[in-house]
Amino acid sequence: MRRVGSIVFVAVVLALLLLPWLATPALIQFGTTTLLLATLAQSWNIIGGYAGYASFGNSVFYGIGGYGTAIAMVQFGLPFGIGILLGAVLAMFFALLLGLPVLRLRGHYFAIATLALAEAMTGIVSNLDIAGRNIGLVLPLRKGDAFFYELSLGLLALATLTVFWISRSRFGFGLIAIREDEDAAGVMGVNTTLYKALAFLLAGFFSALAGGIHAYWITFIDPVSAFDITLNVMMIIMAIFGGAGTIFGPLVGAVLLSSISEVLATEITGMASLFFGLVIVVAVVFMPRGLADLLRRLPGLGWRYFRENLWLHRL
Amino acid sequence: MSLFLQIIVNGILLGGLYSLMALGLALVWGVLNIVNLSHGAFIMLGAYASYYFFTLLHLDPFAALPLCMLTVFALGFLLQRYVLNLIVRGPMFNTLLITFGIDVVLTYLAQIVFSADFRVVNPSYAGANFTMFGATLPLVRALAFAMAIALTLAVWLILGHTRIGRAVRACAQNLVAARLYGVEPRTVYALTFGMGAALAGAAGDLYGVVSQINPYIGDPLTAKSFAISIIGGLENPLGVVVGGLFLGILESLTSLYVGSTYTDVASFGVLVLVLITRPKGLLGRTT
């Protein structure tokens, strides 16, 4: 069983690597978008899934990463590699600066504060001359979707490896302890402030890299789309749909939900978003712990699984 | 000086409407512990209800206020009774997600049914003004302000002095004890959520009079309602009024003295500051 699993795993990785030489341009573009979304879901997983902090501010880092790259390339003529690193460093700086006060809040209050940061960021950036105010910046064009696809795949692999490391390190256990009971974790000797800040920092780092790749790929960035709250909600939904706090859950969630909304968008234009909303509502009611839990327990329970979930949190 | 006074008056009028918008969100949040991300969509539906009562039945938007409230109340009641009650005791993520899903469904249903065109509710007295204390007050904004304050007071009275209000507060304080005293939480939760929705409907009706309507007005209004609930605190409706007025005046002042593109920066910046320094709201007790 284990062997079959690893063969399938290697096959999937190979297929993903070789996709640009096998698929149509449309599929490569869909693949790149999905990989970037999966990276965002995975980076949200670190702070939201493991540490249990419902961050609505990850799109801030995505936007900062994109803007850092764009400003470095457009205003200072630096190459992409240096630009994206500058963006990531800038995002990590902001993660620390904003994280230390905001991470003191808990539950809904943390969620709202990060949401407010994202809203405020849109306003600040649309008033900055260096960021092209509310018109945005146009980046130099680079042809070749395969380059961006492989870059996104590499980034996703890096993020997933990091989460893999987290899931079996002292750091990860600390985060899980914080999620389950922060006060108890503190009493047991977990340096909660440090751990939370590190988790926020890591989430910011990967989100920023994804933002940088996206900006260069699309060759355009503007405040409204860069700090879009919907994007942040998307990553949360993908992570939770797949299974927050698991290694592969966010990836599966991202791929499944992207595919569903892509198919819906081509089949029934106009109704796609409506169905997407319905999928979310039904998923929360019938599988509140995500696909990972569904796959683990459905074979034994069958339909009873859904009935149990229905009774689990009802009044 | 008269400009300053005018700005303050504008801010207060805007703030009254803001308070009404936020009141429903704060009520649901405080009692049910649900942060209702579809609150803005309810406001949007209230505005459309008012628009259709006005254009099809020629009902004055202020006369249609109870009807708008009733329409959105029914929707909220049914949603809580048959959908949200299923997950209300689940983790916070799930309530956030499901209300986001409802928000998406309502927004795009509205887009399909009502189309994405801008609508205006335009009664004959829409352009009328009057002068008070040297400041000019647009009639509809002043009326909307008065309605908003009246409704806020009504909620305060209902929560404080009626049987159903006591049941709602009992559920907020201790669900088990409330049950032991014969409160049926399923109905009370549905009623509370319905009340929150009705307030959103009222806010939508008044919003339609002072501004334009389209299916996408909801999300920014949800965000504003959040900010106000936090700034004012969830403990009592008067806090929300303070939060609403505060935000209204702040936005008016910012748009005059700093620039209208900075209003969101100011309001959300203040929100973050309040959260960090006074997490129980401006009026809340600090522990």
Per-position DSSP letters for chain B, written without gaps between them: -HHHHHHHHHHHHHHHHHHHHHHHHHHHHHHH----TTHHHHHHHHHHHHHHHHHHH---TTTSHHHHHHHHHHHHHHHHHHTGGGTTTS-HHHHHHHHHHHHHHHHHHHHHHH-S--B----TTTT-EEEETTEEEEHHHHHHHHHHHHHHHHHHHHHHHSHHHHHHHHHHH-HHHHHHTT--HHHHHHHHHHHHHHHHHHHHHHHHHHS-B-TTSHHHHHHHHHHHHHHH-SS-HHHHHHHHHHHHHHHHHHHHHT-GGGHHHHHHHHHHHHHHH-TT-SSSPP-
Residue A66: CB partners within 8 Å, gap ≥ 6? A87, A211, A212, A214, A215, A221, A226
On the question of pLDDT at B1 being above 60, the answer is no
Check residue B280 and give its pLDDT: 65
**Considering only alpha carbons, which residue of chain A is nearest residue B277?**
A101
- Chain A hits for B265, Cβ within 8 Å: 120, 123-124, 127
Query: Is B88 close to A54, i.e. CB distance below 8 A?
Result: no
Tens of pLDDT, residues B156-168:
889 889 998 899 8
Q: How far is B22 from chain A (nearest CA, A)?
A: 14
Domain boundaries along the sequence of chain A: 31-267, 270-315
Token pair for A7 = 């063969």
Is B29 at the interface with chain A, CB within 8 A? yes
Q: Is residue B219 within 8 angstroms of chain A, CB to CB?
A: yes
Q: Flag the least confident range among A236-250, A300-314, B158-172, B203-217.
A: A300-314
- The better pLDDT of the pair B67, B284 is held by B67
What's the per-residue H, E or C state across chain A?
CHHHHHHHHHHHHHHHHHHHHHCCHHHHHHHHHHHHHHHHHHHHHHHHHHCCCCCCCHHHHHHHHHHHHHHHHHHHCCCHHHHHHHHHHHHHHHHHHHHHHHCCCCHHHHHHHHHHHHHHHHHHHCCCCCCCCCCCEECCCCCCHHHHHHHHHHHHHHHHHHHHHHHCCHHHHHHHHHHHCHHHHHHCCCCHHHHHHHHHHHHHHHHHHHHHHHHHHHCEECHHHHCCHHHHHHHHHHHHHHCCCCCCHHHHHHHHHHHHHHHHHHHCCCCHHHHHHHHHHHHHHHCCCHHHHHHHHHHHHCCHHHHHHHHHCCC
Average pLDDT of the residues in B18-44: 91
**Res B287 pLDDT > 50:** no
d(CA B56, CA B202): 19
Handedness of CA B169, B172, B177, B181 (dihedral sign): positive
Distance of CA A186 to the CA centre of its chain: 27
Residue A55 burial class via C-beta count within 10 angstroms: exposed 0-12, middle 13-18, buried 19 and up: buried
The beta-carbon neighbor of A116 closest among B86, B109, B227 is: B227
Averaged over B4-21, what is the pLDDT? 89
Question: For residue B286, is pLDDT > 60?
Answer: no
Q: A38 to chain B nearest CA, in Å? A: 18
**Residue closest to B49 by CA, chosen among B64, B77, B68:** B68
Taking only residues 101 to 120 of chain A, the set having a beta carbon closer than 8 angstroms to any beta carbon of chain B reads 101-102, 104-105, 107-109, 111-113, 115-117, 119-120
Of B85, B102, B276, the CB nearest to A314: B85
pLDDT at A32 over 80: yes
CA distance to A62, B49, B171, per residue, from B181 (Å): 51, 38, 11
pLDDT in tens, A150-163: 999 999 999 999 99
Average pLDDT over residues B267-278: 79
What residue ranges do the domains of chain B occupy? 2-277
ipTM: 0.83
CB contact under 8 A, A116 and B272: yes
Separation of alpha carbons B141 and A72, rounded Å = 47
Average pLDDT, chain B: 87
pLDDT above 90: residue A40: yes
Cα(A5)–Cα(A10) distance, rounded to whole angstroms? 9
Among the partner-chain residues A109, A126, A270, the one whose CB lies closest to the CB of B275 is A109
Average pLDDT rounded to a whole number, residues B60-79? 93
Residues of chain A in contact with residue B189, where contact means CB-CB under 8 angstroms, are 315
* Structure confidence at residue A84 (pLDDT): 92
Residue B285 confidence (pLDDT) above 60: no
Instruction: Please state, in angstroms and rounded to a whole number, the distance separating the CA atoms of residues B226 and B98.
Output: 17
Residue pLDDT, tens place only, A240-297? 888 888 888 899 999 988 888 888 877 776 677 788 888 888 888 888 888 888 888 8
Number of cross-chain residue pairs from A and B with Cβ atoms under 8 Å apart: 142
Q: Tell me the pLDDT of chain A averaged across its residues.
A: 87
Among chain A residues, CA nearest to B229? A112
Which amino acid appears at position B166 of this protein?
A: R
- B77–A contact, CB cutoff 8 A: no
Tally the residues of chain A: 315
| pLDDT tens-place string over residues B184-197 | 888 999 999 999 99
Whole-prediction pTM: 0.84
Do A240 and B97 make contact, defined as CB atoms within 8 angstroms? yes
Q: How many CB atoms lie within 10 A of CB A11?
A: 10
Interface of A with B in 147-206 (CB under 8 A): none
From A272's Cα to the closest Cα of chain B, the distance in A is: 9
Residue B232 is predicted with a pLDDT of 81
Q: B276 at the A interface (CB within 8 A)?
A: yes
For A94-146, how does the pLDDT look when each residue is reduced to its tens digit (9 = 90+)? 999 888 888 888 777 888 788 888 888 888 888 888 877 778 888 888 877 88
**Do you know the residue count of chain B?**
287
| pLDDT for position A233 | 83
pLDDT at residue A23 greater than cutoff 60? yes
Angle between helices B218-232 and B92-114 (to 10 degrees): 140
Residue among B48, B46, B45, B65 nearest B56 (CA): B48
**Cross-chain residue pair B264–A109, CB shorter than 8 Å:** no
Residues with Cβ within 8 Å of A266's Cβ and at least 6 positions away in sequence, in order, are none
Quick: pLDDT tens for A190-247: 888 899 999 999 999 999 999 999 999 988 888 888 888 888 888 888 888 888 888 8
Domain B2-277: give its CATH architecture.
Orthogonal Bundle (1.10)
Place of tokens 């409802």: B102
Q: What's the confidence (pLDDT) of residue A132?
A: 76
Name the minimum distance, in Å, from the CA of B226 to any CA of chain A.
7
Residue B203 confidence (pLDDT) above 90: yes
- Buried (b) or exposed (e) across A283-294, using 16+ Cβ within 10 A? bbbebbbbbbbb
Q: Which of A24-28, A80-84, A133-137, B55-59 has the lowest mean pLDDT?
A: A133-137
pLDDT, greater one: B33 or B280: B33
Instruction: Say whether A123 and B263 touch across the interface (CB within 8 A).
Output: yes
Long-range contacts of A241-245 (CB under 8 A, 24+ apart): A241/A280, A241/A283, A241/A290, A241/A291, A242/A41, A242/A290, A242/A291, A242/A292, A243/A289, A243/A290, A243/A291, A243/A292, A243/A293, A244/A45, A244/A48, A244/A49, A244/A290, A244/B93, A245/A45, A245/A49, A245/A50, A245/A176, A245/A179
Residues on chain B touching A284 (C-beta within 8 angstroms)? 87, 90, 94, 97-98, 101
pLDDT digits (tens, 9 = 90+) for B113-145: 998 888 888 888 777 788 877 778 888 888 888
Q: What is the tens place of the pLDDT at every residue in A42-81?
A: 999 999 989 988 888 899 999 999 999 999 998 888 888 8
Mean pLDDT score, B150-176:
88
> Which residue type, as a one-letter code, is found at position B203?
A
Residue B283 has what pLDDT?
61
Contact status of A135 with chain B (Cβ, < 8 Å): no
CA A17 from chain centre, in angstroms, equals 21
Residues 116-175 of B with CB under 8 A from A: none
Question: Going by C-beta distance under 8 Å and a sequence separation of 6 or more, which residues neighbour residue A238?
Answer: A37, A38, A40, A41, A250, A253, A254, A257, A258
